[in-house]
Amino acid sequence: MTADAVIACGGSSSRMGRNKLLADIGGVSCIRRTCMAFDSVTAINKIIISAPQEHRKEYECAIGQLNKEIVFVQSGASRQESVINAVKKSDADIVVVHDGARPLVSSETIEKSICDAKKYGSSVTCVPAKDTIRYDDGEKSYVPDRSDLYIVQTPQSFLRQVYLKAAQAAVMHEKDYTDDAQLVEAIGVKPHITMGEYSNIKLTTSEDLACAEALLDSMHGRTPRSCMPRIGHGYDVHRFSADRKLVLGGVQIPHDMGLLGHSDADVLTHALMDALLGAAALGDIGGMFPDSDARFEGISSTVLLKEVMKTLRSNGYELQNCDVTVIAQRPKLMPYIQQMRQTLSNAMGVDTTRVSVKATTEEGLGFTGRGEGIAAHAVAIIY
């Protein structure tokens, strides 16, 4: 059975005081971190995001490049309407509905939710209530048995046809549910409780951001001491070749010559990758992507950069910021700097404010000054 992710991103973030989906959590935007979790799940075909049209461009930039197809749909006047709009764009057997503001959801939780939806027709992710809860409506006041109470989370997964039938009934009876499982339960489909994780918090207020950062550190096994910054330096140089395209920072630059190399010879990105690997003491790109390996012949260096970032993150590291200087007598690179920054930040899954690119010359001196090639230095700080 196939499955699509439906990410609800139509909220106003009024209690946060700013757009929480663009908030930085461990160097990655909230919305990208959420999408990355679903991108890592094999069972997910595509990710459908329900969001206001006016935020689409900034969300696209914040999400950057992922492996799976990303589809945007217009959000509605309510959460229910927003989710229905997205579900209608799916052609999968199962829809996995998730709050965009739950960036710490694990792939394991998503996989369990899908598995239970296949088995039971619906799945609502919950965790047992830890706190004592008092009910008080002004007339009655009592404490319900905590052992029977669950805190409802997302993802919530459903057979798509079941969800659409429930949505049609809700619209017909003018019902507006804030919880997707409620909507399905209204047509007699009892939601199966799938155990979630307490770390899968929803960002609502500014205090939640601090909690998310702390949880992220804990999930990666980072302590205050281990969070000390680590610095790496990278250097690379490539000579010009008349039969090659010139690619720098993932951007093709119009020029009469390109750079010679086994891959696309993107000297800027190569220096950056070495800086990242060096900061983590994980070797260099020569060891990770040897030029004797035919798989890397002609490959885009931004593809390799994504692999470097995966390696860093699997070792518990995140990028704080990086600074790259390209040394080239020609061509003029200033018109392409911002595009390079955006391309590199997309590949690394970080905000552009964490990526600096500069260009300079050696005033006609040396290898680059004679126009024989291009060099690049990079410094990266990780934590």
Q: Which residues are annotated as a binding site?
A: 236-238, 262-263, 270, 284-286, 289-293, 360-363, 367, 370
**CB 48 within 8 Å of CB 89:** yes
For the annotated binding site for a divalent metal cation, the residues are 236, 238, 270
CB count in 10 Å sphere of residue 231: 12
Length of the chain equals 383
Q: How far apart are CA 246 and CA 12, in angstroms?
A: 44
Q: What is the dihedral of CA 335, 337, 341, 347, to 10 degrees?
A: 80
**CB 23 within 8 Å of CB 47:** no
Task: Mark out the alpha helices in 173-261 (DSSP H runs).
Answer: 180-185, 206-219
Q: How far apart are CA 110 and CA 194, in angstroms?
A: 10
For residue 38, give every residue at least 6 positions away whose Cβ sits within 8 Å of its Cβ, in sequence order, or none: 5, 7, 44, 47, 68, 96, 98, 110
Q: How far apart are CA 308 and CA 304, in angstroms?
A: 6
74, 76, 75, 72: which is closest to 5 by C-alpha? 72
